[in-house]
Amino acid sequence: MEHQHKIKKDPCKTAQPMKMGAHNHHATMIEDFKKRFYVVLILTVPIMLLSTIIQRFMGVNWQFTGSSYILFAMSTIVFIYGGWPFLTGLVSEVKAKTPGMMFLIGFAITVAYSYSAAIVFGLKGMDFFWELDTLILIMLLGHWIEMRSVMGASNELELLVQLMPSDAHKVIDDKVHDVKTDTLNEKDIILVKPGEKVAADGIILEGESYLNESMLTGESKPVKKVAGDKVIAGSINGNGSFKVTVSHGAKDSYLSQVIKLVDDAQKSKSQTQLLADTAAKWLTIIALVTGISTFLYWFLTGHTLSFAMERMVTVIVICCPHALGLAVPLVVAKSTALAAKHGLLIKNRNAFEDSRKITTVVFDKTGTLTVGKFEVSKIVSLNKDLKENEIIRLASALEQKSEHPIATGILQKVKDLSIKIPATEKFNAIAGKGVEAIVEGKKILVISPGYLKENKITIPDGFTADDTETVVFVVVDKNMAGYITLSDKIRPESAGAINTLKQENIKSILLTGDNSKVAASVSKTLGMDSFIAEVLPDQKLKEIKALQQKGEFVAMTGDGVNDAPALAQADVGIAVGSGSDIAAATAGIVLVNSNPNDIVSLILFGKATYRKMIQNLVWATGYNVIALPLAAGVLYNQGIVLSPAIGAALMTVSTVVVAINASLLKVKYTK
């Protein structure tokens, strides 16, 4: 984000707020599973007491005329009412030609029910209605617990949605009217009272206060806001009250864009997710093949039909790819929403998961490693006819159309000196080198040292600037008029961030459009590995490519708009300080603050997220490797055999372990 002039523009207006229907649907499903579970639980006791095998185990005989039909009737209620979610799931998966977990459970309970019903109506053998009942009971309980865990993983997103207040105090002709937030339009004026949430993005018109933006940007300290400062919808006001000029409607707000971004990222599938999906499909095939093979083996080796059936049902239940199917999505839901709460906005899941491979981080200097707030330290006239105030007055005319930190520094100095800024004609930005325009009939250029070098213009005698100062030269009608030096402080957090990267064996390189002396000074002060100075935006791309050709896995941090080509070329593009340009940035990840610690947090969080995914995948597959042979009966001769209910319990436990493991994910966030 070096001395290039980013012309002011409207924030991107494409994002729509997330609809809450999906969340409500999820809550309804949880309630449905809970209700079905309790109905089946009530029927479990009489079903168990009427089952022959349970009576034999208890040493009693409670059989009476028609008892088998009562048992059949109650089991039919359990099968149809309790098993309904699995049976409808089976039909859906068959229609979609993607047999998975619901297909396997539906198949298993249908086989168990059909066989047991045939026993009631004359087939020789032993029914296992009680196994069917306990299998459905445990599967309902497992789904209920799992869905609550899934909802918990998405709760961070829900919290983001709830940040947006539903009402606002709109000011019309000095009277305050309470209106719905979604009715606010650009240029409306709203009042924000103490302790309230800001209802819309905008600029403070009058008043001042401290705002808590931690839920939006990860910035833990309350931030002082005065007239002219931007405010974000959803941030919490302190003790002051102020009026805000609304920048845009609710659907275009920063928060709505974040919610949309998180929602999209949670739905998108990364390479790890595709790997898990493939494994789940194979597990479904293995379940069916192993289940049928187990049935044939036991039945053809002289065991009873009911024993062979029971083995098959247990194998199919154990093999359900449920934990495997949830292993990655739960971590994705948790990590994406959690990152957004800390100001790390993931646009591209693959870029985020690839952050664990980063070997080199290329830092833009201004506003990332430095505060980005340039202050004029010197104004030097090289023309006896032009005073210092005249030089900065002419320079400010050109800089008033720019948002660049250098421009901001010059304009602040003009404001401090109470100088009136003149108008410009034929304004033109010279990419990465400066600006030119006609001011009061004179052709004015405000240019960087790089422009002088490129156009073979000698730096004037008497020029002095220390290593930490950035310089712009002012040319009036082709004559060197003078120069302005500005200084930008290094952020207090920068040294710690670079040091943490070193501990992680990640190289840090400074890539800047600034002069070599400034770059060398900043690089040396922070203990960075190297620096590349006086680089124009189009050359940044070449430098990134050169690093990649040396075998480095490169993360590039820079302004989301100005550094777009380089960000797109980098293996992981990280746009910093581009809150209003979320959707416009080419980077895979957008950091709301320009804090270098956020970049470190992102890399560490990416590694932690990947670890969680792998832990879940290892658990979900490892459990099947051990449980499947036991379900098939390999240790039957040693007296170890699993019933369908135990199989269902083990499957539920594996799913809950995966859910709990995902929920333990945390952002290591240091300020």
Q: Please say if 10 is a catalytic residue.
A: no
Long-range contacts of 293-300 (CB under 8 A, 24+ apart): 294/631, 294/632, 294/633, 298/633
Give the 3-state secondary structure of residue 124. Answer: coil
Q: How far apart are CA 287 and CA 273, in angstroms?
A: 21
**482 three-class SS:** strand
Q: Sign (positive/negative) of CA torsion 49, 54, 59, 60?
A: positive
How far apart are the C-alpha atoms of 228 and 414, rounded to whole Å?
A: 17
Per DSSP bridges, beta strands 572-576 and 242-246 are unpaired
DSSP one-letter string for 290-347: HHHHHHHHHHHTT--HHHHHHHHHHHHHHT-THHHHHHHHHHHHHHHHHHHHTTEEES
- C-alpha dist (Å) from residue 503 to 308, 374, 529, 597: 58, 31, 13, 14
> The tokens of 407 are what?
């421009």
| Cα separation, 530 vs 523, whole angstroms | 7
Contact yes or no for 79/85 (Cβ under 8 A) = no
Cα end-to-end distance, the chain, whole Å = 23
Question: What is the pairing mode between strands 425-430 and 434-439?
Answer: antiparallel
**In angstroms, rounded to a whole number, what is the distance separating the alpha carbons of residues 40 and 48?**
12
Comparing C-alpha atoms, which of 208, 199, 195 is closest to residue 237? 195
Cα–Cα distance list, 221 to 214, 487, 651 (Å): 7, 26, 45
The answer to whether the beta carbons of residues 2 and 432 sit under 8 Å apart is yes
Catalytic residue among 188, 354, 364, 571: 364
Q: Give CA–CA dist 631/641, Å, rounded.
A: 7
Between CA 311 and CA 319, with CA 316 as vertex, the angle to 5 degrees is 120
What count of other Cβ atoms lies within 10 Å of the Cβ of residue 98?
Answer: 14
- DSSP annotation of 580 reads G
Q: Could you write out the three-class secondary structure of 610-641?
A: HHHHHHHHHHHHHHHHHHHHHHHCCCHHHCCC
Catalytic residue IDs: 364
